[in-house]
Amino acid sequence: MRRRKANADRKRVAGFRQAFGVMRPYQAVLWWALLIGICAAGISTIQPIFVSRVVDEFSGGITIGLPMLIVCLLIVGAGLTGMKELLIERAGERFAYDTRVALVELIYNLPIPRLEKHDRADIVSRVTSDVTAARMLLTSGIIDLAVGGATVIVSVVMMATIDPLLLSLALVAVLVVAIAVYKLGEKARPIGLSMQDSIGTLAGHLSRAIGSIKTIRAARATKAEGLGAQEQAAAVRRAGLEAANLRAIIQATTGVAVQLLIVVVVGIGALRVSVGAVSTGDLAAFIMYLMLIVTPITMMATIVSTLGEAFGALSRILELQREPIEDPGPDQEAAAAVRPRLDSPALEFDTVSFAYSLTRASNQPVALTLDNVSFAAAPGAVTALVGPSGAGKTTVFSLIERFYDVTEGTIRIHGRDMGSMSRDEVRSRVAYVDQDAAALSGTIRDNLRLNAPSADDETCAQALWKVGLLAEHEQAREVLDRSVGELGSRLSGGERQRLAFARAILSQAEILLLDEVTSHLDGRNESAIQDVMRSGDDQTVLVIAHRLSTIADADRIILFDEGRIRDAGTHRELLGRSELYLSLARTQFITSDPD
SS (H, E, C) 122-153: HHHHHHHHHHHHHCHHHHCCHHHHHHHHHHHH
The predicted structure's pLDDT at residue 408: 92
pLDDT at 188 over 80: no
| Lowest mean pLDDT segment, chosen from 95-99, 517-521, 539-543 | 517-521
Tell me the Ramachandran region of residue 562: left when phi exceeds 0, alpha when psi lies from -120 to 50, beta otherwise: left
pLDDT at 354 over 90: yes
Average of per-residue pLDDT across 507-526: 77
Report whether CATH 3.40.50.300 matches the domain 328-357+365-432+567-594: yes
* Level-2 CATH architecture, domain 9-161+301-325: Up-down Bundle (1.20)
pLDDT > 90 fraction of the chain, expressed in percent and rounded:
9
Superfamily for the 439-516 domain: P-loop containing nucleotide triphosphate hydrolases (3.40.50.300)
Average of per-residue pLDDT across 95-121: 84
Write the pLDDT tens digit of every residue in 454-473. Answer: 888 888 888 888 888 887 66
The predicted structure's pLDDT at residue 11: 47
Helices (DSSP H) in 13-63: which residue ranges?
16-23, 27-56
Contacts of 161 (CB under 8 A, 6+ apart): none
**Same-fold call for 328-357+365-432+567-594 versus 439-516:** yes
Average of per-residue pLDDT across 253-276: 79
Of the two residues 19 and 397, the one the predictor is more confident about is 397
Cα separation, 33 vs 14, in Å, equals 24
DSSP character at residue 62: -
pLDDT at 362 over 50: no
pLDDT at 342 over 70: no
Average of per-residue pLDDT across 31-40: 89
pLDDT at 92 over 80: yes
Average of per-residue pLDDT across 67-76: 82
Cα separation, 127 vs 380, in Å, equals 44
Average of per-residue pLDDT across 207-236: 71
The DSSP secondary structure of 373-414, one letter per residue, reads EEEEE-TT-EEEEE-STTSSHHHHHHHHTTSS--SEEEEEET
Which sequence spans correspond to the domains of the chain?
Answer: 9-161+301-325, 328-357+365-432+567-594, 439-516
pLDDT at 499 over 80: yes
- Mean residue pLDDT across the chain: 79
Phi then psi for residue 389, to 5 deg, are -60, 140
Q: Which CB contacts under 8 angstroms, 24+ apart, belong to 97-105?
A: 98/25, 99/22, 99/131, 99/134, 99/317, 100/127, 100/128, 100/131, 102/321, 103/127, 103/131, 103/317, 103/320, 103/321
**What are the C-alpha distances in Å from 97 to residues 104, 110, 134, 274, 581?**
11, 20, 12, 59, 56
Average of per-residue pLDDT across 344-371: 76
The predicted structure's pLDDT at residue 8: 45
The predicted structure's pLDDT at residue 377: 92
The predicted structure's pLDDT at residue 490: 83
pLDDT at 560 over 90: yes
The predicted structure's pLDDT at residue 10: 45
Residue 236's beta-bridge partner residues? none
Residue 564's beta-bridge partner residues? 561
pLDDT > 70 fraction of the chain, expressed in percent and rounded:
82
pLDDT tier, 390 (very low <50, low <70, confident <90, very high otherwise): confident
Q: Are 125 and 199 in contact (CB under 8 A)?
A: yes
Contacts of 505 (CB under 8 A, 6+ apart): 463, 466, 467, 532
Cα separation, 483 vs 444, in Å, equals 6
pLDDT tier, 4 (very low <50, low <70, confident <90, very high otherwise): very low
The DSSP secondary structure of 305-369, one letter per residue, reads HHHHHHHHHHHHHHHHHTSPPPP--S-HHHHHTSPPPTTS-SEEEEEEEE-S----GGGPPPPPS
The predicted structure's pLDDT at residue 523: 65
Of the two residues 590 and 146, the one the predictor is more confident about is 146
DSSP character at residue 417: E
pLDDT at 564 over 80: yes
